[in-house]
């Protein structure tokens, strides 16, 4: 449960970061959502062995983190939490794709190592950009922006509820674990005890969901997301969107590291 509480605390910190007045927070959420979506599309569009060509794209999440004054520590913890999924996706690439592509002296490097490194780099770029987007926008504003952009209402409402009530379920699980520890005199839980605990947690979650639904219905909730902060598209939002998307297009079609290397080697020659 300690890991669960730590993960929920990290998620809660994202809302605290988004509540601050930063240059990133002052941008329209729609501009940030569209730009981040274009960034993700560009990252995944590179061929599977691309590594060096992807490196310049790291400027985008780093620049967003600087504009939003987002500390690196919580972002790195969240990336580390999701990293095993990326590792499992490309773990066997070095053995499945053994075609030699790079030779250092007598050492031949299989193409699978490059595709494995590319998978990890794409994961870091896309997930990092998404985390910075949430930390610099907030889930309420993010869901409102998605709704204004035409995303189905059922998706945006469910996404916001999933985020908000993860903390409710986490707190319920923490209380159940505290009760178990008090009744077990500090003894560790056996594997068999987790089945009944999860069953009771499911029943409590279902009961909590029913009570929340009744309370929201009594207050007139009709399925529409409403925010106290109105969305206003300004000139700076257009410049933000056009500037970054233009940069993504250039980096997609021009291999910047290779071009710089050719220039430097040509100059030295």
Looking at the DSSP bridge assignments, the partners of residue 103 are 108
The pLDDT value recorded for residue 32 is: 94
State the Cα–Cα distance between residues 57 and 62, nearest whole angstrom.
9
Between CA 82 and CA 78 the distance in angstroms is 6
Residue 208 has pLDDT above 60, yes or no: yes
Q: Please give the Cα distance from 259 to 268 (Å, whole number).
A: 14
This prediction's pTM = 0.81
Tokens coding 68: 């939003």
CA distances (Å), 82 to each of 36, 76, 204, in order?
19, 10, 28
Measured CA to CA, the distance from residue 37 to residue 43 in angstroms comes to 10
Residue % of the chain over a pLDDT of 70: 85
pLDDT category at 65 given cuts 50, 70, 90 is very high
> Binning pLDDT at 50, 70 and 90, where does residue 236 land?
very high
Q: What residues are paired with 107 via a beta bridge?
A: 104
Work out the angle between the directed axes of helices 59-67 and 235-253 (0-180°, nearest 10).
160
So what's the pLDDT on residue 269? 44
- d(CA 136, CA 16) in angstroms, rounded, equals 10
Main-chain phi, psi angles of 101, to 5 degrees: -125, -25
- Return the structure tokens found at 193: 């005890």
* pLDDT 10s digits, 98-135: 777 665 556 677 777 888 888 999 999 999 999 999 88
How is the chain split into domains, by residue range? 7-151+232-258, 152-227
- Most confident range (mean pLDDT) of 46-60, 91-105, 149-163 is 46-60
Query: At 258, is the pLDDT very low, low, confident or very high (cuts 50, 70, 90)?
Result: confident
Q: What is the pLDDT of residues 155-186, one digit of tens each?
A: 888 888 888 787 777 777 777 777 777 777 66
């Amino acid at each position: 449960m300690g890991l669960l509480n730590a993960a929920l605390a990290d998620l809660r910190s994202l809302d605290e970061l988004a509540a601050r007045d930063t240059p990133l927070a002052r941008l329209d959420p729609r501009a940030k959502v569209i730009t981040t979506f274009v960034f993700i599309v560009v990252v995944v569009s590179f061929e599977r062995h691309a590594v060096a060509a992807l490196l310049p794209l790291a400027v985008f999440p780093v620049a967003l983190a600087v504009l939003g004054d987002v500390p690196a520590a919580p972002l790195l913890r969240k990336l580390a939490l999701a990293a095993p999924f990326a590792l499992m996706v490309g773990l066997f690439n070095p053995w499945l794709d053994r075609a030699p592509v790079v030779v250092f002296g007598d050492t031949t490097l299989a193409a699978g190592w490059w595709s494995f490194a590319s998978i990890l780099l794409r994961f870091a770029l896309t997930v990092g950009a998404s985390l910075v987007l949430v930390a610099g926008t907030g889930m309420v504003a993010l869901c409102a922006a998605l709704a204004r952009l035409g995303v189905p209402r059922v998706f945006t409402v469910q996404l916001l509820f999933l985020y908000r009530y993860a903390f409710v379920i986490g707190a319920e699980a923490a209380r159940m674990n505290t009760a178990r520890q008090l009744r077990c005199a500090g003894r560790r839980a056996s594997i068999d005890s987790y089945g009944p605990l999860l069953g009771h947690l499911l029943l409590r979650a279902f009961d909590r969901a029913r009570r929340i639904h009744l309370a929201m219905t009594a207050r007139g909730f009709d399925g529409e997301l409403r925010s106290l902060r109105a969305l206003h598209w300004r000139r700076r939002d257009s410049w933000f969107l056009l500037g970054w998307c233009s940069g993504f297009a250039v980096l997609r079609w021009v291999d910047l590291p290779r071009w710089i290397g050719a220039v430097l080697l040509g100059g030295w020659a």
